[in-house]
Amino acid sequence: MRNRQRERAAAFRESTTGADVELAYAGFNRFLKGEEREVDDVGDVDAAVLGAPYDGAVSNRPGSRYGPAAIREASGWWAYISDYKGGLTNMQTGKTVNFDDLSVADCGDVPIFPMDHETTAESITSHVAAVASQTFPVLLGGDHYCTFPSVRGFAEGADHDSVGFVQIDAHTDTVSESPVFGTDFHGSSTALIADSPYVDYENVSQVGIRGYESPDFFEFADETGLNLYTMREVDERGIGSVVTDAIEAAAADTDAVYVSFDIDGVDPSVAPGTGTPIPGGLSAQQALETMEVLGAHDAVGAADLMEVAPRYDSTEGTQRLAAYLLVTLLERAFAE
């Protein structure tokens, strides 16, 4: 009798048109409804997603620990339309996108230790390294401190000697040490990355920077070779030109480029769901064009989307934009 009931469900799915379509709000929340995989079993997919639900290194509002789940849920819409409609025309780019050519696995969340940033960092490094040894890793944050161990894991897992780093952000995250937060917090992630064996400031490009930094920051940028593209420069030159220069500078004489998109790089009128919102940021259109340019560049080998704190956005627009940004990057890289 029990076997008959199981066969009944299978027969229904086989005989009913549309039963194989998973609605955006149905099923388990995996990024783009990708197949659930272990980190040691992703060698046959284009990209593998990991979550890092950690916000123990923030200096302002917490809440990005809920970012990975929110981005995954929001990504269900693009999974639905791509599955239901097959090949699609991206009206942003004018390109035809065949999502059958894009295979994504979701490896779930890495183990997190909320009161222990060192063990959390080692967890992120080891899991990203496992994925990077096989395919393109995508990390969902989490606060921006998580990017440091992720870059380290990417370099070690993919066996890269040198890595370029493109950071879309309101803040530079170049504080070496804070009297309040110490040396390991989300404002120090780029300093830690540039101090690693894999990345030099000359191959760090930062896009959309605004707000306030230290009094001598421009001198610091000149001395270190940091490729700095402020929001003022974006407005004057256009986002496409700026991002093209940014990726070329990061890729020069490196083995691959890691892309980190802090959602506070986008103006808070568009993406308020973040811990440290700064007015005057990228529009949604500029953010999407940023990912179009980056996704089309052969040097890009890993990416993350950080600092989505969904509880500060009752409209859920922040996580929708975050998911769309990653979809844009991945479709340009693998589905066009």
Is residue 173 marked as binding? yes
Give the per-residue pLDDT at 185.
Answer: 67
- Residue from 102, 155, 101 nearest 131 by CA: 155
Is residue 117 marked as binding? no
Is residue 186 marked as binding? no
Give the per-residue pLDDT at 268.
Answer: 98
Is residue 171 marked as binding? yes
Is residue 127 marked as binding? no
Give the per-residue pLDDT at 17.
Answer: 78
CA–CA separation, 59 and 63 (whole Å): 12
Contact indicator for 132, 124 with CB cutoff of 8 Å: no
* Max Cα–Cα distance, the chain, nearest Å: 77
Q: Which domains does the chain have, with CATH numbers?
A: 33-334 (3.40.800.10)
CA–CA separation, 89 and 126 (whole Å): 38
Give the per-residue pLDDT at 270.
Answer: 97
Mean pLDDT by groups of 10 residues along the chain of 336 residues: 68 79 79 92 97 92 96 92 74 83 94 92 95 98 95 97 98 84 79 96 98 92 96 98 98 98 98 97 98 97 98 97 97 90
CA–CA separation, 22 and 111 (whole Å): 28
What number of residues does the chain have?
Answer: 336
Is residue 262 marked as binding? yes
